[in-house]
């Protein structure tokens, strides 16, 4: 195959047929019109997927397993941390999804028996399925950073799973005296929403500039370069001169341990005592992915990018942040697009049809101040078992655009959030 072209439908289906033959098993129930699909995780991936199943085929028995009554969205949570948005604007319920015929079970999935095709729930009951979709998001690698465990996170919040952690970080910023130091520890890739740490640093700086102008933000980064770097750095120079400092990996920015008792963050080159320590640790797929046997030794879940079928466990599909999706960044935008493609592929597989080859669009908006945003968007398609970026289909905001362009992008960002949350939960 010509390595410079995207694969054709036939190329990919040939590979897919071989790969899925080993894993997929027939779905006898489907012939009787009562196939059962279960989805674990009611975030942007899982909630969208459950809904898409019902919309594709209202006869499907769809169950969404999610312990929380309210979903707290991460996109725009940096605005909430900076006091630019109410926390309530980040919360969504599952009422509309239930009204569309999805059975919403408010439980944590604690076990997956792939052979028996059953999910064990925290209340001791179990739920059978013909196909299972996992969209559990991320869990923190509390073993990866010396000193950073669950207890440390209550003192040095990560705020990388939105909710109580987001509120805690906001409260700490409010309580900090003018002249204090905020330290953001950023892990190496892969991580949920790669540009979000820099958006957070920007919006915290905005809050400090307006309320506590003698404060500083220090980013300790385990990476050298990052997404949309020039756009961020230009904005920092323009909006927050002297307020944000970043120490990159090659300058000694990688955090090696933390000491919560003194709010100290340690790198190979120095110790930093923070007034507010926002420590984002390394991550992995949500714990249930591991329990199900769908995560490999990287901590993430290898999948077939056409069907999202796990490469490790039969009749299980993985979407969202938990899966290994190549060039497709871990984002709400990607999880939402994967969810719809996955539901369509699963229905195709269950009815013996060839799944469509997904072509997924992802967009990522970064707000650095009210009315000032920029973005990155791309189109992604499968090749060689991963998603790659379709050539010529991606775009990043220009580096030297006027403020009107940034203001327009801020409006588009807000419209994007309204649209994606309405499509997922509304």
Q: Interface mask (CB under 6 A) for ligand FAD, residues 310-349, using x and -? A: ----------xxx-------xxxx-x--------------
284 contact partners, CB below 8 Å, separation of at least 6: 138, 139, 141, 290, 295, 298, 299, 300
CB of 46 to ligand FAD, least distance (A): 5
Instruction: Select the residue whose beta carbon is closest to ligand FAD and give its number.
Output: 43
Q: Least separation, in Å, of the C-beta of 220 and ligand FAD?
A: 17
Q: Where are the alpha helices (DSSP H) in 24-105?
A: 28-31, 44-56, 77-81, 95-99
Binding-residue pattern over the window 104 to 123 for ligand FAD, x denoting contact by CB under 6 A = ----xx--------------
Closest among 197, 140, 137, 133 to 330, alpha carbons compared: 137
Window 50 to 69, contacts with ligand FAD (CB under 6 A) = 65-68
- Cβ closer to ligand FAD: 259 or 296? 296
Closest CA to 162 of 426, 417, 419: 417
Q: Which helix (H) or strand (E) holds 153?
A: helix 150-153
Give the side-chain half-sphere CA count within 13 A for 121: 18
Do residues 395 and 22 touch, judged by C-beta distance below 8 A? no
Q: Does 192 participate in binding ligand FAD (rule CB under 6 A)? A: yes
- Asked whether position 193 contacts ligand FAD by CB under 6 A, the answer is yes
Question: Is residue 42 near ligand FAD by the rule CB under 6 A?
Answer: yes
Among 7, 137, 281, 358, binds ligand FAD (CB under 6 A): 137
Nearest approach in angstroms of CB 291 to ligand FAD is 8
State the nearest-atom distance from the C-beta of 70 to ligand FAD, in Å. 10
260 binds ligand FAD (CB under 6 A): no
Degrees to nearest 5, angle at CA 41 with 344 and 102 = 60
DSSP one-letter code for 355: P
Strand-by-strand arrangement of the 103-105 sheet = 103-105, 61-65, 36-40, 131-134, 316-318
Q: Which is nearer to ligand FAD, 76 or 236 (CB)?
A: 76
- Interface residue list for ligand FAD (CB under 6 A): 40-46, 65-68, 71, 74-75, 77-78, 108-109, 135-137, 160, 192-193, 196, 200, 286, 288, 320-322, 330-333, 335, 364-365
């Amino acid at each position: 195959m010509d390595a410079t072209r995207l694969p054709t439908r036939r190329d990919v289906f040939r590979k897919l047929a071989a790969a899925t033959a080993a894993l997929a098993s027939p779905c006898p129930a489907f012939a009787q019109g009562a196939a059962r699909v279960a989805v674990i995780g009611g975030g942007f991936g899982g909630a969208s997927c459950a809904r898409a199943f019902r919309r594709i085929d209202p006869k499907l028995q769809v169950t969404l397993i999610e312990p929380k009554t309210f979903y707290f969205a991460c996109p725009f949570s940096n605005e909430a941390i900076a006091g630019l948005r109410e926390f309530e604007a980040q919360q969504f319920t599952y009422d509309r999804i239930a009204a569309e015929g999805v059975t919403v079970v408010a439980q944590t999935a604690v076990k997956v028996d792939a052979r028996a095709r059953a999910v064990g729930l925290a209340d001791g009951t179990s739920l059978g399925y013909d196909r299972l979709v996992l969209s559990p998001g991320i869990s923190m690698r509390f073993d990866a950073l010396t000193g950073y465990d669950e207890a440390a996170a209550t003192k040095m919040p990560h705020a990388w799973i939105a909710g109580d952690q987001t509120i805690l970080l906001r409260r700490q910023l409010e309580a900090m005296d003018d002249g204090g130091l905020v330290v953001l520890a950023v892990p190496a890739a892969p991580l949920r929403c790669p540009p979000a740490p820099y958006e957070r640093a920007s919006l915290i700086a905005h809050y400090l500039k307006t309320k506590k102008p003698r404060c500083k933000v220090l980013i300790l980064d385990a990476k050298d370069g990052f997404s949309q770097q020039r756009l961020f750095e230009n904005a920092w120079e323009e909006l927050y001169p002297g307020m944000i400092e970043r120490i990159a990996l090659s300058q000694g920015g990688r955090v090696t341990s933390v000491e919560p008792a003194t709010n100290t963050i340690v790198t190979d080159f120095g110790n930093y005592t923070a007034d507010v320590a926002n420590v984002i640790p390394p991550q992995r797929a949500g714990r249930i992915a591991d329990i199900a046997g769908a995560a490999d030794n990287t901590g993430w879940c290898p999948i077939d990018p056409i069907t999202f079928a796990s490469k490790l466990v039969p009749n299980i599909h993985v979407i969202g942040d938990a899966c290994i999706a190549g060039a497709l960044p871990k984002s709400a935008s990607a999880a939402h697009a994967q969810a719809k493609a996955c539901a369509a592929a699963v229905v195709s597989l269950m009815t013996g049809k060839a799944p469509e080859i997904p072509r997924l669009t992802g967009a990522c908006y970064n707000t650095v101040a009210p009315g000032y945003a920029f973005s990155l968007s791309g189109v992604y398609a499968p090749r060689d078992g991963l998603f790659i970026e379709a050539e010529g289909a991606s775009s990043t905001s220009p580096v030297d655009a006027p403020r009107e362009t940034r203001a327009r992008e801020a409006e588009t960002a807000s419209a994007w959030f309204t649209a994606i949350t309405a499509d997922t939960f509304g």
